[in-house]
Chain A
Amino acid sequence: MIKPPSFEVAGGTPWVSSRIPDCVVRNQRGEPRRFRTDLIARQRVLISFIYTRCDGICPKTVANLVAVEKLLRAAAEPFRMLSLSVDPARDTTEDLAEYAQGHGVSHLPHWEFLVASPADTVAIQKALRASEPDADAAAPDLKSHSGMIVFGNETTNRWSSIAAGTAPIHIQHAFQTVARSSGFSSLLKLRV
C-alpha cells in the first residue's frame, strides 16, 4: 500500500506540490509516469524546461545540468532531475532519448526527460510559476520558455528557483541548502 503523499496537509498556504498537476507524462524510455505522485511526492527534485530543437538557452541549460548532476552525485546527495519538454507538439519520447544520449546522460535512472500533453505542459509550468507572468496561451510559448530551474524538497515544502545559466557549483549549493533543510519550523510545528 502506498503511503499517503505528503502534500495532503491541513492548514497554512496550500503546499506547492498540492497544485502540481498529477497528469501522465512519458519519459525518454517511453514509460508513463504520474507527474506528481511518481516524480514529485517525497522527492528532492530539480525541474528544468527544455525542447530538443532549441538553439537558444537549452543547450547551455542542459550542459549546466550535466555538471550539476555530477556535482550532486559526487556529494552523495539524493536528488532527481526532471527535464520537461516545452515543445510537446514536436518532441517525441524518441527525440528525448536521442537528446539524453547526446548529452551522455541517457543511462542515469534519476534523470528523466519528459513530455506531456500540450495542455498539461502549460499547466505544469503555471503551477511551478515557470512561465512568463503574461503568458496565458493554450500552447507553450517556446520563445519565452522559462530559463529557470525549479527545485525543492517536497517533504518540507521548501522550494526555490534559480536561473539555469547560473554557475553549476552555485546551483549545487543552492539545491543542497534547500534539500537538506528541515524546512520552516513554524509551519512544520503546525502540522498535526
Chain B
Amino acid sequence: MKYAITVVSKSLEEPFINRMKQNRRQFVSQVGMASILAAESFPLLLLASKAQAGDLLPKLPTVPRYTPHSVPLPLPGRLAPTVLVPAPGSPEASLGSAAVYHGIAPEYSRSHPAHQPYWDLSPERHYEMAYEDALHEWVPGIQTPALGYNGLVPGATLRLRVGEPAVVRVTNKVDIEASVHLHGGHNPAHADGHPCFYVFPGQSRDYYYPNVLPRHPVTGEADISHSNSTLWFHDHANDVTARNVIYGLAGFALLTDDLEEKLFEDRILPALDTADGQQAPYDVPMAFIDQALNRDGTVFWDPLDADGRLGNILTVNGAAQPYFEVERRKYRFRWLDSSLARIYELRIVRGATAIPFLQISNDGYLFPQPQLVSSVLLVPGKRADVIVDFSKFEAGTKLYLQNIMQQSNGRKPDGIDPARPMNLVEFRVKGPVVPNDVSVGLGSALRPYTPIEASEVTATRRFDFNRSNGAWQINGQFWSPFRSDAVITSGTTERWILQNKAGGWWHPAHIHLENHQIVSINGVKPKKVWSYLTDTSSLEGNMVIEVLVRFRTFTGPFVFHCHNNNHEDMRMMSQIETVPRNPATGLPMPPMLNGKSFSVDPAVCGIPAGDIQANPHLFH
C-alpha cells in the first residue's frame, strides 16, 4: 500500500473530489487559463527544479477573488439540548465504557468532597457535540474541507446559566486526537480541556460544567464579580491545537447569572435570548479568524510554522468580510480573537471618522460601568463585549468595523496604522430610529466589582517566558505534563509576576481555571479597561505583568500557556496543580504530580489506566 490512509468509502470521497474540481473551475474563471496550467504542474515542476535550494517554505497564497461585504454576517445558532443515553455518570457511561470511554469528572459524583448540594438545585442540561469533517465556505463559492463541532464553523453556541449544571458529550469522529477547552470557564480538571486529557478518535468524553461561581475567600458567598458572560470553546489537544482551530474547531459559549439576566429584564442590556431560546437579534457574537486558502480551496497550513500562522483573508463568524444590517438602536457585540496569531486593534468608522463606543467587559467579565473607548486591542483568545449605538445614523449609512493593527509576522504586530485599515464588517443602517431602546450608557450600573486584595496573597510566584535555541521555556524549564511547576493550595490567593524575556515577541498569557486581576504592567497601574478581571493578558515584548489570582473550587492539574496557538503547540506552556486541604489537619494534601510521579488519577484525566489505544497517552 502506498499510503497509510484511512479507508474512505467511495460515496464519501466523491463529493470531496468533485468539490475540488469545482473549486478549481471557479479559480479558472477568475484568474484565467495560464495560471491554472501553472497550478496543475505546480508540484512536480517545483520539486524538480527548486527543491534543492531549500528555500521552499510555502508562501502565503494570494487571496482568492471575491467581493467584500457580499455575504451577510453568519449568526451561529444554538446547540440544542438533548437527553444523553446512557446517562452521564451511569456505569454504562463511566471511565473505560464503550459508550463514553473517557467518562466524566469525579466531581460529578455527589459524594465527591468538592461537590456541594447547591450545585444540583436546577435540573441538569445535556448536549452532544461531535468533531466532524465538513465543507465550509470561508470565501463565497469556495468549498473548503474543514473540521467543525457538529460539522459547523463556527460551532453552534452553547448557552449556559449559572446554577444550571450541564454535561456536553463530545465524540471524536475524526482521525485526530482532540480535547475541548471552555475558555473563560471555571470547571473541573477533567472537563477543562487540558492538552493531554484527550478525546481519542472514535471515543467520547462527558464534559461536566457545574456552572457554579467560585466563593469569596473571606465571606464564603458566591463571588459574583467573577461570573463570566462571553466564553468560547475550542480544541486544545497537545501538538495540534493550532491546526484544529484553523480548520474550524471553535464556537461561543454564553453564560448568564441572575444579575445579568436582570440587566436584560430591566432593558439595560439588549436581550440575549428569543422566546424560543435562540440568539436574540441585538446581541451579536463575532469571532475573528484570519484565514488563508490554497488555490484548490484547502486551508493553507504548514505544520512546522512555529512563529505564528497569519492568514490574509479576514473572516467573521467563518465568512470573509461580511455585511450586517443594523437597525437604528444599540447593539451588544461580543468580539473574540479566535485567530492563531493575529493581533487586532478594532475600531468602528464612518468614512474616515472613528466612532466612539462603549466597552462593557474584558474577556467576558462585565465592568461595574461601561467605558467609553475609540478602539479595542485583542490578542488571540481575548474577548471584548461592546455596545455600539447606531441610532444617530441615517438609514442607508454604511459604517465599518476595522482592524488597524498591522502585522507582517506571527511573532508580534508591526504597530497601529489607521491609514491602512482592514475592513472586517460593513454595517448597513436601515429603518427609522427604534423607540424605547435599551438604556445602557456611561454610568449604567452593570456588575459590581470587589477587587482581589493584595492582603489576601499567601504566595508570590514569578514566571519568566523565554526562548532558548528556538525552544520555549517557562522559568528555564521545558513543558512536561508529568511535573507541576506550581502546587497551589485551593482556596488561596497568589501574586504572579509574568515576565516576557523572549525578545520582542508577544505572548498572550492565558491562565486556566481562574481569571486574574492585573495589578501593574511594567510597574504602572493598567488602564481602566484592563484593571478588572481577565483570563488572557497580553504579554507584549519585554513586558512585566503583575497579577492576583484566587484559586478555588476545583483541584487537579491545569495549564497556563501562551495563546499564540503555534507557540502553544510548541509547548510554551506550564502546568500547575491545585490541591485541597486535608479537612482533618487543615494542611494542603500532597499533589498528584510532584515531579517524581508520572501518574494522574485516571478518573481525573479521563484516560483509563492500562489504556491500549492506538494513540499512546501520557498518564499510565
Residues of A within 8 A of B (CB): 3, 6-14, 16, 18-23, 36, 56-57, 75, 120, 122-124, 126-133, 144-148, 150, 152-153, 155-167, 169-170, 172-174, 176-178, 180-192
Contact = CB atoms under 8 A, between A and B. Distances in A.
A186 B56 contact: no
Contact of A190 (B6, B16, B238, B469): B16
A11 B177 CA distance: 24
B54 A18 contact: no
Nearest to A174: B239
A14 B570 CA distance: 21
Contacts of B55: 123, 126-127
A157 to B, nearest CB: 7
A160 B304 CA distance: 6
- Nearest first, the 3 closest Cβ-Cβ pairs linking A and B are A123-B54, A147-B469, A19-B56
24 contacts: A3-B2, A8-B47, A11-B20, A14-B46, A18-B43, A18-B46, A18-B51, A18-B56, A36-B51, A56-B469, A57-B469, A126-B54, A129-B57, A129-B306, A148-B469, A156-B4, A166-B480, A167-B483, A170-B481, A173-B616, A177-B615, A178-B239, A181-B615, A189-B16
B276 interface: no
B239 A183 contact: no
Contacts of B298: 11-13, 186-187, 190
Contacts of B478: 163, 165-167
B51 A19 contact: yes
B47 A163 contact: no
B412 to A, nearest CB: 11
The SS class assigned to the B binding surface is loop
Interface string B64-105: 000000000000000000000000000000000000000000
Interface string B455-488: 0000000000000111111000011111100000
Contact of A163 (B146, B472, B569): B472
A148 B54 contact: no
B411 interface: yes
B3 interface: yes
Contacts of B468: 57, 147, 163
B133 interface: yes
Contacts, number: 207
B274 interface: no
Contacts of A56: 469
B419 interface: no
Nearest to A56: B469
B201 to A, nearest CB: 8
Interface in B243-296: 243, 247, 294, 296
B303 A147 contact: no
Contacts of B616: 75, 172-173, 176-177, 180
B141 to A, nearest CB: 17
B51 A190 contact: no
Given A129-B57, A173-B617, A174-B239, A191 B303 contact: no
Contacts of A57: 468-469
Interface in B325-367: none
Contacts of A166: 478-480, 571
Contacts of A186: 133, 145-147, 174, 247, 298
Nearest to B247: A186
B250 to A, nearest CB: 16
A146 B470 contact: yes
Contact of B294 (A11, A18, A128, A159): A11
Given A11-B20, A185-B133, A177 B4 contact: no
Interface residues of B, number: 69
A57 B175 CA distance: 36
A23 to B, nearest CB: 7
Contacts of A129: 57, 302, 304-306
Contacts of A192: 17, 20
Given A166-B479, A188-B5, A181 B175 contact: yes
B618 A12 contact: no
A160 B571 CA distance: 11
A127 B17 contact: no
Given A9-B43, A129-B304, A177-B616, A148 B51 contact: no
Nearest to B303: A159
Contacts of A161: 304, 306, 570
Interface in B1-42: 2-6, 8, 12-13, 16-17, 20
Contacts of A158: 303
Instruction: Choose among A159, A165, A190, A192 the residue with the greatest number of B CB atoms under 10 Å from its CB.
Output: A190
A120 B470 contact: no
A181 B176 contact: yes
Nearest to B481: A170
Given A173-B618, A177-B616, A189 B294 contact: no
A183 B411 contact: no
B480 A127 contact: no
B610 interface: no
B323 interface: no
B17 A184 contact: no
Given A6-B3, A147-B468, A133 B307 contact: yes
Contacts of B53: 21, 123
A177 B304 contact: no
Contacts of A146: 469-470
A3 to B, nearest CB: 7
Contact of A19 (B8, B20, B57, B480): B57
Contacts of B247: 184, 186
Contact of A8 (B44, B133, B617): B44
A159 B470 contact: no
B301 interface: yes
B215 to A, nearest CB: 36
A126 B52 CA distance: 12
A185 B471 contact: no
Contacts of B3: 6, 155-156, 188, 191
A176 B614 CA distance: 9
B300 interface: yes
B135 to A, nearest CB: 9
A155 B4 contact: yes
Nearest to B50: A19
